[in-house]
Amino acid sequence: MRKVLPLAILTALAGCATPPPPPPPPAPVVVERPKPVFPAPTPAPICGKPAEKVAFAVAALRMQMSVIEITCDARGQFNAFTVKFRNDVAAQNKVVGGFFGRAYGNKGVANQDQYETAQINQMSEAGQYYGADFCKTSLPMMDQVLALQDGKALGEYAVAQKFDQVLAVEECTAPPPKTPSTATPAKSSTPAKSQAVKKS
C-alpha cells in the first residue's frame, strides 16, 4: 500500500525549496542632455593657414583645461599640463598672435584678448549648463592630454576635439598647381653671325 505523507511534512518540504531569483531591475533611463545653444561664431576677416588652425585648436584646448581646473578642482593636473607643454603652448599662442596681426593690423593684440575672453566665457557657460555631469565627462581629458608625448600629438588631439569656437576661421585653400607652359619659346631677335665663304 502506498503511504501518504502528512500535509504538514509536504508543506515543510515545499518551504525548503530554493526560491526563484528576483527579476533583474529595469535598466536606468539615460537622458542625454542636448548641447547648449550659443550665438553663431563671428566670421574672421581672413582665412587661416593650416598651422594657424591647429594653433586655434590648441588655444581652445588650453582654455578648456583651465575651465576643468577651476570647476572640477583639478589644479594638480592642470599644473602638470602647463609644465609639460609650456613651450608648445607658447609657440602655438605666438602663431595665433600672428594670425590676429595679419587680420587686424595694429589692433591684433586687442582682438586676440577679446577672442580669448569670449572663448573661455563660452566654455565656462557650457560647464555650468552640464552641471555635475561636466566633471564626469571632462576630467578624463586631463589624463588623456598628460599621456600625449609631444607638441605635435597635442595639436592633433586638440584638432580632433572640434571645439566650438567663437571666431570662425576658414582654412585657406591651396592654390591650384602650376602647369608647365606649352607656348613655343620665342626666337631670339639677335641675328646669327654669317660665316664668311672663302672664294677660291
Residue 4 predicted with pLDDT over 70: no
Instruction: Please name the residue that has the C-alpha cell 593650416.
Output: 50
- b/e per residue, 96-108, with b = 16+ CB within 10 A? beebbeebbeeeb
**Lowest mean per-residue pLDDT among 55-69, 147-161, 169-183:** 169-183
For residue 153, the model assigns a pLDDT of 97
Distance between CA atoms of 185 and 147, rounded to whole angstroms? 59
Model confidence at 200, pLDDT cuts 50, 70, 90, reads: very low
Q: Rounded CA gap, 119 and 64, in Å?
A: 9
Give residue 131's pLDDT.
Answer: 87
* pLDDT tens-digit map of 76-113: 999 999 999 999 999 999 999 999 999 999 999 999 99
The residue among 88 and 175 whose pLDDT is bigger is 88
- pTM of the entire structure? 0.71
How does pLDDT run across 8-53, given as a tens digit for each residue? 554 555 555 566 777 666 554 445 667 778 889 999 999 999 999 9
* Rounded Cα gap, residues 87 and 101, in angstroms: 21
Percent of the chain past pLDDT 90, that is, above it, reads 64
Cell digits of residue 71: 570647476
Give the model's pLDDT for residue 187: 55
Q: Please, are residues 88 and 154 in contact by the beta-carbon 8 Å criterion?
A: yes
Q: What is the mean pLDDT of residues 56-68?
A: 97
